[in-house]
Chains A and B, each alone.
Chain A
Amino acid sequence: MEFLRPATWDEALAAKAEYPTALPISGGTDVMVEMNFDVHRPSAILDLNRITELSEWQIADDVVQLGASVPYTRIINELSGPLPGLALAAHTVGSPQIRNRGGVGGNLGGASPAGDAHPALLAAGRDVFVEVASQARGTRLIAIDDFYVGVKRNSMEKDELIRRVHIPVADGPQQFSKIGTRNAMVIAVCAFGFALHPKNGTVGTGIGSAAPTPRRAVEAEEYLAGVLAERGLWQSGDLLGTEVIQRFGELVKAAASPIDDVRGTAEYRRHSLAVMARRTLTWTWNDYSKQIRSAA
């Protein structure tokens, strides 16, 4: 097994071009576990830890450019304001040790439907982009909706590496809920991310662990955005009413296509998604209403 340790991003792309089957590693919280369990023995490991820019973030034009290796702990501590949904999701990742090492790049690279970051990224809007690059073709931005293509598969090419993720700064309240059968350190039985985007009058959703890929509840988003627009609720901040909340929950539930497995039944996943959808909508809308009223 080759062990490659590029010092710069260009060297990393060169290495990935030369060894397209090389497995990138940063925090190692996923890769090392799978190697220990003998899930795979990659021909080469590409260690990205020397490339400091991957552990940096900045905000430009109201977009957070989040380095692939920025650990969850720093997302919680430094980005709870601009990225509240992702920060809440980061809280639910593993243990403190895992959060100190793991970052969003690993979640995206692994593309597991159970990755905690995915529902928050989907909910953050259609303008979330994964920035990837290859030595041959340079940089490209993949829209988050085009990123997940199958169980543990993403739309990256073999010679590409994830550099950072572009996530718009939140313009409204965001929430994230996850079901696990214990109160910490648990893989999601299912998860739900939700965000209000008052600027463009949309809402964002993300479903985790309840379909072959992380996915958006498109009909639920359209229904809710429609209601909010028709009833002038963005402006008034008035109560949504139980009927709307209920309907939203049902549409989220309908968007999932879960399976029975050792972590939970498909029926429980559907049921709990509806509950989480109702609750996260209620919380975010309450927060939004308060903002409107205090501004008025």
Chain B
Amino acid sequence: MSTRTIQGQKNLQDINQASKDGIGGSPLRPDGTLKVKGEFAYSSDLWHEDMLWGMALRSPHPRANILSVDISEAVKLPGVYAVLTHDDIPGSKFYGLEIQDQPALAIDKVRYHGEAIAIVAADHPETARRAVKKIKVEYEVLTPIVTEEQCLDPETYGYVHEPHEFKSHGHGNICHSQKLVHGGGVTDEIRALADVVVSGHYEVGMQDQAFLGPESGLAVPAEDGGMDLYVATQWLHVDRQQVAPVLGIPEEKLRLTLAGVGGAFGGREDLSMQIHACLLAQRTGKPVKIVYARDESFFGHVHRHPAKMYYEHGATRDGKLVYADARIVLDGGAYASASPAVVGNAASLGHGPYNIPNVRMEAIALYSNNPSCGAMRGFGAVQACFGYETQMDKLAAELGMDPVELRQLNAMSEGDPMPTGQVIDSPAPVAQLLQIVKDRPLPPPLDLDNLDVRTLPGALSNTSHGEGIVRGVGYSVGIKNVGFSEGFDDYSTARVRLEVIGGEPVAMVHTAMAEVGQGGITVHAQIARTELGVEQVTIHPANTEVGSAGSTSASRQTYMTGGAVKYAAEAVKAALIEKGRRRYGWTQTDIILLGGKVISEAGGPLVSIVDLLGDEAIDLTREHHHRPTVPFDKETGQGFGHVQYTFCANRAVVDVDIELGLVKVVELTAAQDVGKALNPLSVIGQIQGGCTQALGLAVMEEIIVKDGKVRNASFTDYLIPTILDVPPIPVDMLELPDPHAPYGLRGVGEAPTVSATPSIVAAIRQATGIALNRIPVRPEHLTGTL
């Protein structure tokens, strides 16, 4: 409505302006200033009188049998209130997002480095730490199953989950798999149609979400035998669904409230400390707080699946793709987590936003004794994009074509089918996005006479004063789905209340949406302002008193819960107008709410909302379900599997010190179709943030795992980009509405994380001439010193 003008109604315009803080505006987020000033209350700041501190004992081994656990010394320590093992769990001993294969506390064996075995509650964190050290565990250490070869040969190397305890859809050490065949598939006959063939093996390292707020929460036992849990999470209701059975209490007796979230990026989709805090609170009858230390955080959440990929593309001499073949092997680690969905994304999106008449794909996720991997921004699509975009560059080089033109020649657009057979039925401006980033003026070349060392690779580390620096430029484009796929109904619920407070109409929005920093609460207020014509909007704390809002992931929250707020607000508006019709006998059909008034667009103001509402409150709840999808066929991968697609294109400009292998990204341009930017400032922030996380994957971010053991569980050695690593990120937003989505919007959070990484690697490749088939690119790769 902010884009709507009421033409020919001068009198109305004079008295009533749509709120500048409605949709399409960029009101500042309410949590922003607090966070910058260090005043925001995060979940780690929670406090309760008489609370205890919980702590876990974790396995130092990636694979071992537990022969015995002796807690006797720990229990004796003064100040210790409880020491629990799996024996003490009153309800179900397993949990999991999709497959309940993960024990809340290890049972007789550990499957990854850092798996929790016992938990302690004590009156001080230091006491808890000492108690944990007094627990004696006797292990029979086993050789971990960590490589693809080992995983695929369980008879020789063993089972991560023994066949009798196997709970996933796969078999052996395969957690999940998905095949896909499109057109004629890939056969010798099809291969023969191609003039040029390029292929390659590609590898993606294990990235971490690296959120700054460690896992933390507070469980408070209630008088009714239930539990109140305050926690930083991405989806309150799915936490409740997993925790309640372990506690042996009905879901309705477990009430969750969102605590301040310090970043998520997928890493809070799985449970971390929730069950442990609740078990300890249930046992002791006291509130229990758990806050992970930084190193524990690296063990306490899942990571991005590392991938090994094979890609093969065939094309005609003039650059038209004939076929594409791929196999993507994702290491899911010890437990399933989101592996099935990651596999589904990799298989269905893994050939990119291109029209390819013949396609074959197989994606699998392994069980291994490596750290568990699950959701992280752009999952499945991120890994694949590095593969297919590297292939596009390779093909362009082979054909002697411009890499952007090759991509544009094969780019899909609205009306084209995905390899899954699903026809894209909303804008897909892939070629246009590439053109936008290509047309942007390039940043100026290095000025060797006026060097600022901070702008060079190495920056203040003072490794170059211009020596060895070579510039490179690279392009990429990516595709991501929005929302949960493959038949999942990830609906959202919103409650909107309109009442008069202090002589002003005030709307209240109540959802269970996890605000993890994405700006959802800002957008909810904007929607309420626009739909209800009010300025004052309060956001109710997110909790389980209202229905599920689904997960803050898959770029879905503005689409889904934002949509639910829109529909609830529309229902409130309709009820209010109906009340006016009954009271005043209005017959107009052009009634809207604007500037605190009920207005006939033709006739002018009818009554103020305050006068119409009086003492009454209108309080309505609505659910928003997206259009249904279906599971992909297991063998052919065919099906209407995704709700919406989103596209981003990037151009990266890098300076590489080719002698030292150090990289400075000079500029990272992004162009993305966002459908409709409800809050342009937030959308740009999402795109820039997504690009930054992609930059991290390109050149530095990796959890280093050796023989199943994590080697760098700290921010000293798990490096994420600093301000000196992040370049200017110019953003072009296209607003091509999707007719199926509320306000025509498109989910925005993930597409740039998918697409930006390969553009940076392509730029480094151009600068160095080195075939870079693994990310993150390390100095060793660029200097031949691996």
Contacts and interface: CB of A to CB of B under 8 A. Distances in A.
A269 B434 CA distance: 39
Interface residues of A, number: 34
Interface string B766-786: 000000000000111001011
Contacts of A264: 778-780
B462 interface: yes
Given A37-B714, A181-B719, A183-B724, A92 B700 contact: no
A272 B464 CA distance: 12
Q: Indicate the member of A264, A265, A275 with the most B CB atoms within 10 Å.
A: A275
B779 A92 contact: no
Given A265-B786, A272-B779, A183 B457 contact: yes
A292 B116 CA distance: 67
B717 interface: yes
Contacts of B295: 37
Interface in A157-201: 175-187, 189
Contacts of B463: 177-179, 275-276, 279
A189 B700 CA distance: 13
Interface stretch (B146-154, B396-404, B659-667): B659-667
B701 to A, nearest CB: 10
A38 interface: yes
A18 B761 CA distance: 58
Interface in B658-685: 659-662, 664
Interface in A10-42: 33, 36-38
B409 to A, nearest CB: 37
B707 interface: no
A296 interface: no
Interface in B193-249: none
B780 A265 contact: yes
A38 B294 CA distance: 11
A268 B659 CA distance: 11
A144 interface: no
A175 B293 contact: no
Contacts of A177: 458, 461-463
A219 interface: no
A290 interface: no
A89 to B, nearest CB: 9
A279 B464 CA distance: 7
Contact of B722 (A88, A184, A272): A184
Contact of A92 (B462, B778, B783, B785): B462
A37 B699 CA distance: 27
Interface in A65-114: 88, 91-92
B29 interface: no
A262 interface: yes
A223 interface: no
A185 B722 contact: yes
Contacts of B721: 182
A181 B700 CA distance: 7
B459 A262 contact: no
Interface in B636-664: 659-662, 664
A267 interface: yes
Q: Indicate the member of A38, A91, A92, A262 with the most B CB atoms within 10 Å.
A: A262
A183 B717 contact: no
Contact of B785 (A181, A186, A267): A267
B723 interface: yes
B664 A183 contact: yes
Given A177-B463, A262-B711, A182 B293 contact: no
Contacts of A187: 716-717
Given A182-B722, A185-B722, A262-B717, A268 B661 contact: yes
A91 B462 CA distance: 9
B141 interface: no
B283 interface: no
B129 interface: yes
Given A265-B786, A272-B660, A182 B717 contact: no
A152 interface: no
Nearest to B133: A38
A126 interface: no
B704 interface: yes
B716 A183 contact: no
A271 interface: yes
Interface string B291-307: 00111000000000000
Interface string B676-712: 0000000000000000000000011000100000011
A281 B719 CA distance: 30
A170 B462 CA distance: 19
A283 interface: yes
A263 interface: yes
Q: Indicate the member of A36, A265, A267, A272 with the most B CB atoms within 10 Å.
A: A272
A279 B463 CA distance: 8
A130 B103 CA distance: 55
Contacts of A178: 458, 461-463
Contact of B458 (A183, A267, A270): A183
Contacts of A181: 662, 699-700, 719, 778-779
A275 B660 contact: yes
B460 interface: yes
A186 B460 CA distance: 11
Interface in B334-390: none
A37 B294 CA distance: 8
Contacts of A37: 293-295, 714
Contacts of A88: 462
A265 B783 CA distance: 11
B725 interface: yes
Nearest to B704: A262
Q: Indicate the member of A36, A91, A181, A275 with the most B CB atoms within 10 Å.
A: A181
B20 interface: no
Interface string B278-317: 0000000000000001110000000000000000000000
B662 A36 contact: no
A265 B785 contact: yes
A38 to B, nearest CB: 7
A92 B661 contact: no
Contacts of A179: 458, 461, 463, 660, 662, 779
A118 B462 CA distance: 16
Contacts of A263: 717
A175 B716 contact: no
B724 A184 contact: yes
Contacts of A265: 780, 785-786
B122 to A, nearest CB: 15
B783 A272 contact: yes
A110 to B, nearest CB: 14
A268 B779 CA distance: 8
Given A185-B722, A264-B780, A271-B785, A180 B716 contact: no
Nearest to A187: B716
Nearest to A269: B785
A136 B700 CA distance: 50
Contacts of A176: 462
Contact of A36 (B293, B461, B660): B293
Nearest to B126: A41
A180 to B, nearest CB: 6
Given A181-B779, A275-B659, 10 more contacts: A178-B461, A179-B458, A181-B662, A183-B458, A183-B725, A184-B460, A262-B711, A262-B712, A265-B780, A275-B463
Q: State the 3 A-B residue pairs at the shortest beta-carbon distance, nearest first.
A: A183-B459, A268-B785, A183-B724
Interface of A: 33, 36-38, 88, 91-92, 175-187, 189, 262-265, 267-268, 270-272, 275-276, 279, 283
Interface of B: 129, 293-295, 454, 457-465, 467-468, 659-662, 664, 699-700, 704, 711-712, 714, 716-717, 719, 721-725, 778-780, 783, 785-786
20 contacts: A36-B293, A38-B293, A92-B462, A181-B700, A181-B779, A182-B699, A183-B454, A183-B664, A184-B459, A184-B725, A262-B704, A262-B711, A267-B780, A268-B661, A268-B779, A268-B780, A268-B785, A272-B661, A276-B660, A279-B463
